[in-house]
Amino acid sequence: MDLEAGFDAQLDKSGVGFDERDAGLLRAIDDHGSLNAAAGALGRSYSRSQRRVVELEEAFGPLVVRERGGSGGGGSTLTDGARDLLAAFERLTAEFTGVAEVEETVLDGTVVERDGELATVETPAGTVRAIVPTGSRRVRLAIRADAVTLHTPGALPDRETSARNRYRGTVSTIESGDALARVALDIGDDTRLTALVTRESIATLALSPGDEAVASFKATATRAIPAQRDATDERTDD
């Protein structure tokens, strides 16, 4: 079982994610009074928009009431459940925006291997794959809390890939807000990796302080900047 915080706010239910694109579709249906007009206004395919509504309804329940024919030509309106879903998403977005922009884990490290823009960086917490500027040797990595995925132990395949950094650790703290929670995972060497997830997901993962969990994050979501002494070190090495 896992939960991905992602770079954008998202509500999850039954394996289906409701994000800003879905919210935009529901708002457009509400504004234009029909799914067809909403899809046109958004520049999207009607058939794909219709399929997406069906997918969302299978997970979240009835969202759109469709009326066919009649003197007015039919149309679509949102259900109370859809309006509640939009309200919940807007609350989540507001809280997410307030904390995700500043929440990050910072690690200092040294580049030990490079493959184009991607590099392997040795840090006190272990090796990290990240996007590293060309020529940088000593770097500072920034890992955004909203880019970290949390998993229960055993939920991931054993094989390692260059696309993911994975660390197993112990949950040290969980700080819950109205919709979101910050989870601090002790991954060793006095390093705490912070993940930003929904409160519902904490319950789904059944996480409590002291539990073991696995955190992963994409190499392409891990950015590095040269450390202040990088230039001096490189001149010395030459």
| Distance in angstroms (rounded) separating the CA atoms of residues 150 and 174 | 13
Last residue of a domain, one of 43, 75, 100: 100
> What pLDDT does 179 receive?
78
Do 184 and 85 fall within a single domain? Answer: no
| Domain carrying residue 152 | 104-237
- CATH number for 172: 2.40.50.100
pTM given for the model: 0.54
> In tens digits, what is the pLDDT along the chain, a chain of 238 residues?
444 444 456 788 888 889 999 999 999 999 999 999 999 999 999 999 999 999 999 999 999 998 875 444 468 999 999 999 998 888 777 666 655 555 778 889 999 998 888 899 999 888 999 988 888 889 989 888 888 888 888 766 555 555 579 999 999 999 887 778 889 999 987 889 999 888 888 888 889 999 999 998 888 888 888 875 544 444 444 4
In Å, how far are 8, 47, 185, 212 from 52, measured between CA atoms?
19, 9, 35, 36
- If asked whether residues 111 and 227 sit together in one domain, one would say yes
Q: Which of 161, 167, 156 is nearest to 124 (CA)?
A: 167
Contacts of 200 by beta carbon, 8 Å cutoff, 6+ apart: 12
Asked if 109 and 94 sit in the same domain, the reply is no
User: Looking at residue 74, what is its pLDDT?
Assistant: 63
What is the tally of structural domains in the chain? 2
- Residue 38's H or E segment, with its range, is helix 35-42
Please tell me the predicted confidence (pLDDT) of residue 96. Answer: 61
Comparing CA positions, the residue from 79, 86, 93, 84 lying closest to residue 9 is 93
Q: Are residues 129 and 224 in the same domain?
A: yes
pLDDT in the model for residue 230? 47
Q: Tell me, what's the pLDDT at 12? A: 81
